[in-house]
């Protein structure tokens, strides 16, 4: 059984993802993204406040009776690298956090717009 649009919501967390469950082999393989929601309970906790709005890539793999849940460190490293590139481009190009007029936050678009200004 394959699912491409899994969604779940907890009071402080939203989950999205996709994966498969093999009922015959009793195995599962899911990739999820957990997003920490901006809730008063989160904001009140100093350690958690920095996580508000952040996305954490997760994996759930293995036997249905005892699956392994873990952080997808490869996806997390890629996500962090993209964020740092975006922040560096935004700063270097003198744009605000939302991009030029809040249209996009894609680093490629930010660079493209800035290069057009030069020529």
73 Cβ contact partners less than 8 Å away, ≥ 6 residues apart: none
Mark the ranges of the chain whose per-residue pLDDT is less than 50: 99-101
Query: What is the reported pLDDT for 116?
Result: 65
Query: What is the reported pLDDT for 101?
Result: 47
Query: What is the reported pLDDT for 103?
Result: 56
Query: What is the reported pLDDT for 104?
Result: 60
Query: What is the reported pLDDT for 37?
Result: 83
Query: What is the reported pLDDT for 28?
Result: 97
Q: What is the pTM of this model?
A: 0.62
- Domains of the chain and any CATH numbers: 1-71 (2.20.25), 73-119 (no CATH)
> Chain centroid to CA 104: how far?
17
Q: How far apart are CA 61 and CA 115, in angstroms?
A: 44
How far is residue 6 from each of residues 2, 10, 33, 69, 73, measured CA to CA in Å? 10, 14, 10, 16, 21
């Amino acid at each position: 059984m394959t699912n491409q649009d899994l969604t779940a919501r907890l009071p402080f967390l939203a989950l999205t993802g996709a994966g498969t469950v093999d009922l015959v082999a009793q195995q599962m393989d899911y990739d999820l993204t957990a997003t920490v929601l901006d809730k008063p309970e989160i904001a009140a906790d100093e350690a958690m406040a920095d996580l508000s709005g952040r996305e954490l890539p997760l994996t759930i793999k293995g036997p249905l009776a005892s699956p392994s849940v873990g952080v997808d460190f490869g996806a997390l490293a890629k996500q962090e690298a993209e964020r740092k590139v975006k922040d560096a481009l935004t700063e270097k190009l003198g744009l605000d956090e939302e991009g030029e007029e809040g249209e996009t936050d894609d680093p490629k678009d930010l660079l493209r717009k800035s290069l057009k200004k030069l020529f």
